[in-house]
Chains A and B, each alone.
Chain A
């Protein structure tokens, strides 16, 4: 269903988490993955190159995931980019804030490969329906 060659940007300040998400994506068939270690670097990459999907953490230095999401939604060239948040932030107000800011999905850490797969598929379905 989703294009396996789809370019995905994984944003997390911990390299181990980036590796885990990258490996899980690989298991799901997505091998065209790039990484950024905070929102600011992610934004630079998103503006310089073409990505079709963003998976981002929330709590990061320089620019956090929510600000990244808000900036993406406020940038005409990027506003339709799907953004999946994968974060340890588990307060209800966080989830609501992310949804209101236009997050395409919200996964709380720790998470399983099945959850990631399910959320990705759900987002792809919504994208296809549009």
Chain B
């Protein structure tokens, strides 16, 4: 599909939304050939919502009207500034970024599983070594306490020799193999590092484009409003922020100060 086509259909879409007349909006959407899928889907939803709520909530019409005007304004500004082409280009690289991120998620999960599997194998080997060594030491303690018969001592010498020649090296071999496996499981870092670098570059471009576009259309009094939600995930950069904690001590201090 050509960019010109897009623009025409988008114009029709925005006009229909601005008109705030549900039947017209629906008509405009249905005649529109497949535009960017998300856009037409959004329009259908908007039209449906407008149609469904009309009458019961007449005041919402004003909101849709306003949204339509804002969209129109954004569209015009983007077009005038030439951002629309830039955004279009950025948008096409997003599915690619999504695939790359899925790849990162996949590799890191695999690595985590490999490491956990390795520790699952290594831990019992180490525990066996520890237990065996402890038993031998207890028996040797009895030798030094002069509590052992010659026959027992002979058996202990044999057991100790067996431990040193078979048990110890055998278990050490298992553990070393798993340590190597843990080391090799880190090979994702190189691959994900490269992919993440590409996505960071893309995000930066996208951000620059969007921010400069948004700055043109967002009124001054609507800027710098903080999004407040309780689901933010890990804090990536805590520098200069006072609304987050950076370690467990601060969690404990905060809870303590509140009497919990």
Closest beta carbon of chain B to A23's beta carbon, Å: 7
CA distance A90 to B243 in the complex (A): 9
CA distance A93 to B232 in the complex (A): 11
For residue B45, CB closer than 8 A to chain A, the reply is: no
Q: A20-B116, A58-B231 are in contact. Are A108 and B243 (CB under 8 A)?
A: no
Residues of chain B at interface, number, CB under 8 A? 24
**What residues of chain B lie closer than 8 Å to A93, measured between beta carbons?**
228, 230, 243
For residue B248, CB closer than 8 A to chain A, the reply is: yes
**What residues of chain B lie closer than 8 Å to A95, measured between beta carbons?**
245, 251, 254-255
Q: Is the CB of B254 within 8 A of A91?
A: no
For residue A66, CB closer than 8 A to chain B, the reply is: yes
**What residues of chain B lie closer than 8 Å to A99, measured between beta carbons?**
255, 258, 260
**What residues of chain A lie closer than 8 Å to B165, measured between beta carbons?**
none
Q: Is the CB of B244 within 8 A of A90?
A: yes
**What residues of chain A lie closer than 8 Å to B200, measured between beta carbons?**
none
Nearest A-chain residue to B260, judged by Cβ:
A99
Q: A91-B230, A91-B243, A108-B245 are in contact. Are A16 and B258 (CB under 8 A)?
A: no
Q: Is the CB of B243 within 8 A of A59?
A: no
Closest beta carbon of chain A to B82's beta carbon, Å: 39
Q: Is the CB of B258 within 8 A of A90?
A: no
Q: Is the CB of B254 within 8 A of A89?
A: no
**What residues of chain B lie closer than 8 Å to A5, measured between beta carbons?**
none
Nearest A-chain residue to B108, judged by Cβ:
A16
Contact pick for B251, options A23, A97, A108, CB 8 Å: A108
> What sequence of 0s and 1s flags, for each residue 225-260 of chain B, a beta carbon within 8 Å of any chain A beta carbon?
000101111110010000111111001001100101
Nearest A-chain residue to B123, judged by Cβ:
A23
**What residues of chain B lie closer than 8 Å to A20, measured between beta carbons?**
116
Q: Which of A23, A59, A108 has the most CB of B within 10 A?
A: A108
Nearest B-chain residue to A94, judged by Cβ:
B230
**What residues of chain A lie closer than 8 Å to B247, measured between beta carbons?**
108
Closest beta carbon of chain A to B105's beta carbon, Å: 10
CA distance A102 to B235 in the complex (A): 24
Interface residues of B in 104-124 (CB under 8 A from A): 109, 112-113, 116, 119
Nearest A-chain residue to B116, judged by Cβ:
A19
Chain A to chain B: the 7 pairs with minimum beta-carbon distance, closest first? A88-B234, A16-B112, A99-B260, A90-B235, A90-B244, A90-B245, A19-B116
By a beta-carbon cutoff of 8 Å, the part of chain B in contact with chain A is: 109, 112-113, 116, 119, 228, 230-235, 238, 243-248, 251, 254-255, 258, 260
| A-B contact sample (11 more), CB < 8 A, given A91-B235, A106-B251 | A16-B112, A19-B116, A88-B234, A89-B231, A90-B235, A91-B245, A92-B243, A93-B230, A95-B254, A99-B255, A107-B251
By a beta-carbon cutoff of 8 Å, the part of chain A in contact with chain B is: 15-16, 19-20, 23, 58-59, 64, 66, 88-97, 99, 106-109, 111, 115
